[in-house]
Amino acid sequence: MARGDSALEALGGRLAATRRLTLDLAAPLSDADATIQPHPDASPAKWHLAHTTWFFETFILRDHVPGYELYDESWPFLFNSYYEGEGERHARPRRGMLSRPTLDEVRGWRATVDEALQSALPNLPPETLKLVELGIQHEQQHQELFLTDILATFAENPLEPPYGLADISRDAAEPLGWIAGRSGLVEIGAGSGFAFDCERPRHQALLHPHRIASRCVTNGEWQEFTADGGYSTPALWLSEGWDWVQSEQVERPLYWHDDGTHFTLGGRREIDPAAPVAHISYYEADAFARWAGARLPTEAEWEDAFASSDPTIGHQLDRAGSVEPKPGGGPFGDVWQWTQSAFLPYPGFKPEAGTVGEYNGKFMCGQFVLKGASCATPRGHSRASYRNFFPPSARWQFTGVRLARDS
Ligand SMILES: [Fe+2]
């Protein structure tokens, strides 16, 4: 077999496995579960199934497979997320109003698109195969969003239905250590291999003397912060963060209740003090760091510290089911870690050509970078140069904090 054939076979295999995992994630859901939208930032599960299919149908099949006819000409309007180059689209906050197409109809679309993709693969030129890779990586991102959005959906229901069996760990928290970071000029950003456009080009960054925590902040440490009046001490908060705490009446991480329990994908559970805290905003992470006499790391500090750690090790998503941050993980897994770095273009940044150039670059305003991976990140998706990003008030993702200090 020629080298090109085995690479193509591997790509086809990863495409099939990725598409399969999304279906498996949706398997426990009713059409109603998959249709409702808990808040404007989250999307219905059915929408994720459809939108990832739209991405492949539009940017591969429609654009690069002669004679391909759209499965349904009216659906691209419903399932384009934010690509202005693809024209008008359904309003994001109203995605939960789409009772049609049904979940089964969306599954039918997926099957047709999957079949067309697999038969087109051998004839696609290398540039288009790169778009297939982008489609796989895109779908993996939506698998994580699928889980965080279904958590938000079930959290809205007073019956508190579990999405899956509880993923229980009884490990103790590791002792907190401080790793001496390098200082001086280092290089960050993606080298060879797949990376999103925003991770390039690789470039120099200047690090000042610092230390970075050996693990993330735990629920137990967060309970100390809460008991010490962390949420009612304005001096700990950024001005914008304090306004947010007041206006949203925030007293604890999202999904925490005042009786020592929290809502998880496995249903309502006791909070495990040894597990990494999750579902906190940038504002909360920053206030906690100030309370602890520390600060958030910069993205360059984080990336340099963990550039040689294996990004495939840790508590990440391996199969469909309930996930939860657990003690004992490494830098990749459990929770994405807020950095103090704004999501901005690297020196010499060039967006991808064409409409997919809207993927990252146009969001480089008002968002902060998170590093690592979470328990909902498909294993193999992340790497040290990965730049996840969210606005500072977002906390429905598995977001946590790893502290840093000047030294
Ligand atoms: Fe998307």
pLDDT value for 173: 86
C-alpha 174 – ligand 1 centre gap (Å):
36
Task: Tell me how crowded residue 343 is: count the other CB atoms within 10 A of its CB.
Answer: 21
* Separation of CA 263 and ligand 1 centre (Å): 26
Instruction: Indicate if the pLDDT at residue 1 is higher than 60.
Output: no
State how beta strands 261-264 and 203-207 pair: unpaired
pTM of the model: 0.97
Per-residue pLDDT, averaged over 149-163, amounts to 98
Question: Is residue 383's pLDDT more than 90?
Answer: yes
Does the pLDDT of residue 314 top 70, yes or no? yes
Query: What are the residue ranges of helices labelled H in 228-339?
Result: 239-248, 282-291, 299-306
**pLDDT tens by residue, 45-77:** 999 999 999 999 999 999 999 999 999 999 999
**What is the torsional sign of CA 400, 328, 144, 357?**
positive
Q: Which of 303, 286, 285 is nearest to 181 (CA)?
A: 303
Percent of the chain residues topping a pLDDT of 70: 99
Q: How far is the CA of 139 from the centre of ligand 1 (A)?
A: 7
pLDDT at 171 over 90: no
pLDDT at 398: 98
Rg (CA), the chain: 21
Query: 3 pLDDT exceeds 80?
Result: no
Q: How far is the CA of 138 from the centre of ligand 1 (A)?
A: 6
State the pLDDT at residue 170: 77
CB 83 within 8 A of CB 77: no
Element (H, E) at 388: strand 388-390
The answer to whether residues 218 and 273 touch, using CB atoms and an 8 Å cutoff, is: yes
Instruction: Give the Å distance between the CA of 141 and the centre of ligand 1.
Output: 8
User: What DSSP letter does each residue of 71-109 carry, written as one string?
Assistant: S-TTHHHHH--S-GGG-----GGGGGG---S-HHHHHHH
Alpha-carbon separation of residue 28 from 31, 164, 165, 374 (angstroms): 10, 8, 11, 22
Beta bridge partners of 270: 261
Ligand 1 centre from 122 Cα, in Å? 25
pLDDT value, residue 147: 98
Tell me the pairing of strands 210-213 and 404-406: antiparallel
**What's the CA-to-centroid distance between 52 and ligand 1, angstroms?**
6
What's the pLDDT score for residue 168? 77
Q: Tell how far the Cα of 357 is from the centroid of ligand 1, in angstroms.
A: 13
Q: 142 alpha carbon to ligand 1 midpoint, in Å?
A: 7
Across the range 332-354, mean pLDDT stands at 97
CA of 267 to the centre of ligand 1 (A): 27
Residue 317 CA to ligand 1 centre (angstroms): 19
Q: For 78-99, write each residue's pLDDT tens digit.
A: 999 999 999 999 999 999 999 9
Q: What does the mean pLDDT of the chain come to?
A: 96
Q: Has residue 167 got a pLDDT over 80?
A: no
- Distances, alpha carbon 147 to alpha carbons 93, 143, 175, 371, 397, in Å: 18, 7, 30, 19, 9
Region 273-294 average pLDDT: 98
Read off the tokens for 130.
Answer: 């790169």
Q: What is the DSSP string of 114-177?
A: HHHHHHHGGG--HHHHHHHHHHHHHHHHHHHHHHHHHHHHHHTSTT---SS------PPPPPP-
Q: What would the DSSP string read from start to end of 204-223?
A: EEEE-SEEEESSPPBHHHHH
